[in-house]
A = this chain, B = another copy of it.
Amino acid sequence: MRDSTVQALEVCSIEVTVSLIGGCWKLTIIQKLLEGTLRFGELRREVGYVTDRVLTRQLRELEADGLVHREVFPQVPPKVEYSLTPLGESLRDMVAMMDAWGQRWAAEQGVEPAPSVLAS
């Protein structure tokens, strides 16, 4: 378990949640996987600006935290599929809520809203 999570456990469950899904790109990754299993390359193209190295790290953390399942197919060229565990799936409502809230915030600030992941 990562240090930040251990610390969060001493404060409150909310901080635990933030420590697990608060990392850059993590919720975007989860949102993409909510639509179905994806290979590494597909995920990278879907997410956008992320680099290989960062995407790999975030996926490994999500895997270690039990949110993402990683399946390696022993073939050449390599094939690796990523999907959500039930725990990851259980974030569906929260993802939707955060998406909606982010849009509301942008609206109240009079800012051009970010593209909604759910509309895509």
For A98, what are the chain B residues with a Cβ–Cβ distance below 8 Å? 13-14, 17-18, 94
Asked whether A80 is an interface residue with its Cβ less than 8 Å from the other chain, the reply is no
Residues on A lying within 8 angstroms of B by beta carbon are: 1, 8-18, 20-22, 24-25, 27-28, 31, 48-49, 65-66, 87, 90-91, 93-95, 97-106, 108-109, 111-117
Count of this chain's copies in the oligomeric assembly = 2
Chain A's interface: helix, strand, loop or mixed, by majority?
helix
A12: B residues at CB distance < 8 A: 28, 31, 99, 102, 114-117
Give the complex CA separation of A87 and B22 in angstroms: 20
Chain B residues in 8 Å Cβ range of A31:
12, 14
